[in-house]
Amino acid sequence: MTAVAEVQQDWVPSTRTLLIGDTDASPQGETWDVYNPATEDVLATVGGASSSQVDAAVAAARKAFPAWAALSGAERSKYLHRFADVLEKAADRLLPSIVNEVGCPVSLASYLQVKMAVDEHLRWAAEAAKTDRTIHLGEYDKPVPTMSDVVHQPVGVVAAITGYNYPLNLAIFKFGAALAAGCTVVLLPSPRTPLTTLFLGDLIKEAGLPPGVMNVIVGGADVGQQLSSHPGVDRVSFTGSDGVGAKIMEQAAANLAGVTLELGGKSPSIVLEGVDVEKIAVEMHLRWARNGGQGCAALARLLVHDSVYDQFLEAGASAFDQMVVGDPWDPATNIGPMIRPDHQARVNGFVDGAIDDGGRKLLEVTKPLPEKGWFVNPVLLGDLPHSARAVQQEIFGPVAVIVPFKDTEEAIRLANDTAYGLAANVWCDDPIEARRVAEQVRAGTVWINGGGAMRPDAPFGGYGRSGVGRELGEWGMKEYLEVKHIQWRI
């Protein structure tokens, strides 16, 4: 264990109460245990919101909306920067919260789960709040001369429902843009990882956000259903599986509320002919396996040209030698546990099913797993048809599949041969050819030769079953803005 692990003892939220309007509300709904997936220990027993508390949270957001929307963008920006200041100061408490309830290795969590979310994404939203988005259309002379402006106004109350794998990031992606746009928020985390979000409730008060602007509740599927179908909610933003996303879309439709859905993927990483695979194989494998493969944009479908296929497998063996599965607080660990035993069983079921389908384990980590914790050793599966379940469905664990192809057009066809379209990567030495392929792959984000970090000013979202709408950047802001045309005679 390292010095950073010393802060583990100070990681549980100071309260486990809900934040509704200007009050800390004691949960009145069902209770459940929250576990540390690396140790199987119970971290806390949490109580969810009752039906009346869901109503109260929406009512508080509705009440706060007019005054928050009436603030200038510069005033909202000050609030958001102040909130970011508070989160930065609380980083040493947020980090252990995330490591312990998600199982994300501290080596990854310190930047990707905390620093990036606050320093880059929340700060960007705070600055974006200042932007004047009015469009002056100018004069139109039929049948009489007129002038027009197009203005953007906040949609209203947003239900922000987040996934378990990146609890702080996913929350900030949603409430950062929503608050910057002038909306108010009811935030509902995954019931598997509610503690970091409950901690946010304390920090919201510390930052001095006006009461009701941002409310925090927790609960299971019943609370999520009530919130997403609530007549007082104007937009639902959800991150999770495509199956649950479809249900949320149906529930929101009862009130014709808008939806923003980020629903995962089966993202390809395409290695074209001529690429020096010795330089990229390790990076590719460590990328899809990070956070235990529990990432919606994990590039876990490897499409590799025939001419470099064998060489790629040989080069990738060293990546598996570098994969350390175990204690998330050990700085040497880069693969943490699955979130729950049922998910561990699901991931192992994909591997077993692939073997039953005639596939093989081409590369794997074979070291003994810790005696406690819901761990899975990373595996690369091969010799499967592209129609196989393990190739087509999101596994959400440290399992990748590799599929060879004969030429670039086949690679593009295989890349698009899936119901998802969230992300992709194209490895190619020719920048013109790489760009041509990138433009033909149906995915919301396409990296070339590894790309870079997720940009706060660029859109994130996908095609097909990967979701509806976009988060981040101006595209994410517009999810929370209505468009109004104002026209007058001159």
Tens-digit pLDDT profile for residues 343-359 = 999 999 999 999 999 99
Based on its alpha-carbon atoms, the radius of gyration of the chain, rounded to whole angstroms, reads: 23
In one-letter notation, the amino acid at residue 489 is: R
Pick the more confident residue, 59 or 451: 59
What percent of the chain has pLDDT above 70?
Answer: 97
471: DSSP letter: B
Residue 39 and residue 140: Cα distance in Å, rounded? 68
User: Are 192 and 170 a contacting pair, CB within 8 Å?
Assistant: no
Report yes or no on whether pTM surpasses 0.85: yes
Rounded to 5 degrees, what are φ and ψ at 153? -130, 150
CATH superfamily of 268-448: Aldehyde Dehydrogenase; Chain A, domain 2 (3.40.309.10)
In 3D space, the residue among 228, 193, 202, 214 whose CA is nearest the CA of residue 46 turns out to be 193
In this structure, what token pair is assigned to residue 229?
């179908």
In 3D space, the residue among 235, 100, 98, 107 whose CA is nearest the CA of residue 170 turns out to be 98
Report the DSSP pairing between strands 463-464 and 235-239. Answer: unpaired
Per-residue pLDDT tens digits for 394-418:
999 999 999 999 999 999 999 999 9
204: Cβ–Cβ under 8 A, 6 or more apart, which residues?
19, 83, 214, 216
Distances (CA, A) of 173 to 10, 118, 203, 357, 401: 26, 10, 17, 39, 30
User: Are 126 and 85 a contacting pair, CB within 8 Å?
Assistant: no
Q: Does the domain made of 18-263+466-489 have the CATH classification 3.40.50.720?
A: no
236: Cβ–Cβ under 8 A, 6 or more apart, which residues?
158, 159, 161, 227, 228, 248, 251, 252, 257, 258, 259, 260
User: Are 319 and 276 a contacting pair, CB within 8 Å?
Assistant: no
Per-residue pLDDT tens digits for 40-49:
999 999 999 9
Residue 282 and residue 181: Cα distance in Å, rounded? 41
In one-letter notation, the amino acid at residue 368 is: P
Q: Which helix (DSSP H) or strand (DSSP E) does residue 263 occupy?
A: none
Residue 187 and residue 191: Cα distance in Å, rounded? 12
Residue 73 and residue 75: Cα distance in Å, rounded? 5
User: Are 243 and 393 a contacting pair, CB within 8 Å?
Assistant: no
For 244, other C-beta atoms within 10 Å of its C-beta total 18
Per-residue pLDDT tens digits for 298-319:
999 999 999 999 999 999 999 9
Residue 96 and residue 92: Cα distance in Å, rounded? 7
Residue 293 and residue 288: Cα distance in Å, rounded? 6
In this structure, what token pair is assigned to residue 115?
């620093």
Q: How confident is the model at residue 13 (pLDDT cuts 50, 70, 90)?
A: low
SS (H, E, C) 292-335: HHCCCCCCCEEEEEHHHHHHHHHHHHHHHHHCCECCCCCCCCCE
Q: How confident is the model at residue 12 (pLDDT cuts 50, 70, 90)?
A: low
User: Are 157 and 480 a contacting pair, CB within 8 Å?
Assistant: no
In this structure, what token pair is assigned to residue 267?
């993202």
Give the pLDDT confidence score for residue 16 in this predicted structure: 73
Give the pLDDT confidence score for residue 242 in this predicted structure: 95
User: Are 268 and 469 a contacting pair, CB within 8 Å?
Assistant: no
Per-residue pLDDT tens digits for 116-148:
999 999 999 999 999 999 999 999 999 999 999
Q: How confident is the model at residue 452 (pLDDT cuts 50, 70, 90)?
A: confident
Q: Judge whether residue 6 has pLDDT over 60.
A: no
What percent of the chain has pLDDT above 90?
Answer: 93
Strand partners, 405: 305
Q: What mean pLDDT do residues 214-240 have?
A: 97
Per-residue pLDDT tens digits for 97-121:
999 999 999 999 989 889 999 999 9
Q: Where are the domains of the chain?
A: 18-263+466-489, 268-448
Burial annotation 270-289 (CB, 10 A radius, 16+ → b, else e): bbbbebebeebbbebbbbbb
Residue 478 and residue 181: Cα distance in Å, rounded? 8
Active site residues: 262
In 3D space, the residue among 125, 122, 261 whose CA is nearest the CA of residue 182 turns out to be 125
Residue 211 and residue 19: Cα distance in Å, rounded? 9
Residue 473 and residue 207: Cα distance in Å, rounded? 24
